[in-house]
Amino acid sequence: MKPAWDKLMAEFEGKPGALVADVDCTAEGKQLCEDQGVEGFPTIKWGDPASLEDYEGGRDLEELSAFATENLKPICSPANLDLCSAEKKAQIEEIQKMSADELETKIKAEEQKLADAQTTFEKEVEELQTKYEQLEKDKIATIKEIKDSGLGLMKAVAAQSAKKEEL
């Protein structure tokens, strides 16, 4: 992916309103990566720098370039109200009316909802994995039991009987 990313950075170099860059999360960029929730490498984030989103698309140059061309441009935000729908403008205005403490409280509450959703997901996946492993063990034991009960011999006898009838 690195060669494709390097070409994409060159393609977008100097374009106003769009930044394609990489960050070394093991050196000077470590704090930035922690702040943005980067847990694995490579991770691609996009969007408003104050609220980056995870990129879930393809990793070759064609897919990266198509996504960047479509999405890396000014978007609706407090800094670009002219790009917002009436509904989004109203939402931004309501948020701007909040005190700093109220806004921080709401942000923390929403972030907690995200964290709770992730925790629930991970817990449920773990339970599914445990169930899957048990089902796999049960299936293997059942197959062994059936084979040990003489299924192979029954098939051999049936095949032998069929050959005798053909003669």
**For the domain that residue 80 is a member of, what is the CATH number?**
3.40.30.10
Read off the tokens for 25.
């999360």
109 lies in some domain:
no
CA distance linking residue 77 with residue 116, whole number of Å = 27
48 lies in some domain:
yes
Q: What is the pTM for the complete model shown?
A: 0.56
Per-residue pLDDT of the chain (167 residues; tens, 9 = 90+): 778 888 878 887 887 777 788 888 888 888 888 888 888 778 888 877 777 888 888 888 888 888 888 887 877 888 889 989 999 999 999 999 999 999 999 999 999 999 999 999 999 999 999 999 999 999 999 999 999 999 989 999 999 988 887 76
4 lies in some domain:
yes
69 lies in some domain:
yes
Question: Under a CB-based contact definition with an 8 Å cutoff, are residues 44 and 19 in contact?
Answer: no
CA distance linking residue 24 with residue 40, whole number of Å = 12
148 lies in some domain:
no
74 lies in some domain:
yes
Domain count, the chain: 1
Which residue range(s) make up the domain with 2? 1-97
104 lies in some domain:
no
